[in-house]
Copies of this chain bind each other. A is one copy, B any other.
Amino acid sequence: MSSMRELSQQQAAVREFIASQLALGRPSPSHREIASHFGFASSYAAGCHVRTLLRKGALVAEPGKARSLRLAEMLKTPRRSAVVDIPLFGSIPAGFGQDREQEAEGCVSVDIHTIGFQPTRHTFALRVVGDSMIGRHICEGDIVILEHGPEPRHGQIVAALMDRKSTLKTFVLKNNKPFLKAENPKYADLIPAEELMIQGVFRALIRKARE
C-alpha cells in the first residue's frame, strides 16, 4: 500500500514546504522549523509528518543527520545534462565584452544537450525584432542564442550591428567577398560585411507559442 501519491493534504503541505526551502537553496528545515512554520506547538508533530513522508517514499533522509531531508524525485532523476544560464539582451550595446552580466534583461536557462553546444563566456541571447529572417523560419519574438567570436561561414546566420541595433542576416560569400543578406523578399539587399560589425553567429532558437 501507500505507494507515493497517497499523501494527505497536511502531508503534502509539509512536503511542499520542504521542497520550497530546498528550491530556494536553503538547507532543509529542521523539525522545529517545520513546526514553527505551520504554527505547531510541538516539534513532534513535524517529526511525525516527516516520518510518514519518509515511509511513503516521498522524502529521503540520512537518519540522525541534521537537515538531511531530500525530495525522493530529485535523487532518482537520471541527471539531466548541465543547465547553463545565457544572458538575454533586448538589444546588444555597441561596446561588447565587458559588463555584460549587468546589462542583461534576463537570462535563458537550457541544458546544453538540448541546444546542442557548450556555451562560453561569449554566448548570449537576443529577442528577435522584425521579420528580416522569416525566410530562414526565424520569427519576430523568437529568442536566438548566438556565439560571439567565431568567424562566420557561408550560409550561417549572424547578428550584425546596424543603426545601433542588432539585426539578423545571412552571411554569404560572393566572389570570395563577404556579404550580409536579409532573408525576406521585401528587402533582400546585399550589404558588404565590412560595413557592419558582426556580433555573433546563430546557434539555437527558442520560441514561445503566441495566443
Residues of A within 8 A of B (CB): 23, 25-28, 30, 65-68, 70, 74-75, 77-78, 80-83, 85, 106-111, 113-117, 134, 137-139, 143, 153, 156-157, 201-209, 211
Q: Once the chains bind, are A81 and B109 in contact (CB under 8 Å)? A: yes
Q: Once the chains bind, are A77 and B85 in contact (CB under 8 Å)? A: yes
Q: Once the chains bind, are A204 and B206 in contact (CB under 8 Å)? A: yes
Copies of this protein in the assembly total: 2
CA gap between A204 and B115 in the complex, in Å: 14
For A208, what are the chain B residues with a Cβ–Cβ distance below 8 Å? 114-117, 203-204
State the Cβ distance, A44 to closest chain B Cβ, in Å: 19
CA gap between A74 and B206 in the complex, in Å: 25
Closest 7 CB pairs of A and B: A116-B208, A109-B111, A66-B66, A137-B137, A205-B207, A67-B67, A80-B109
CA gap between A104 and B139 in the complex, in Å: 29
CA gap between A74 and B85 in the complex, in Å: 11
Find A25's partner among B74, B201, B205 (CB 8 Å cutoff).
B74
CA gap between A70 and B206 in the complex, in Å: 31
Q: Once the chains bind, are B27 and A115 in contact (CB under 8 Å)? A: no
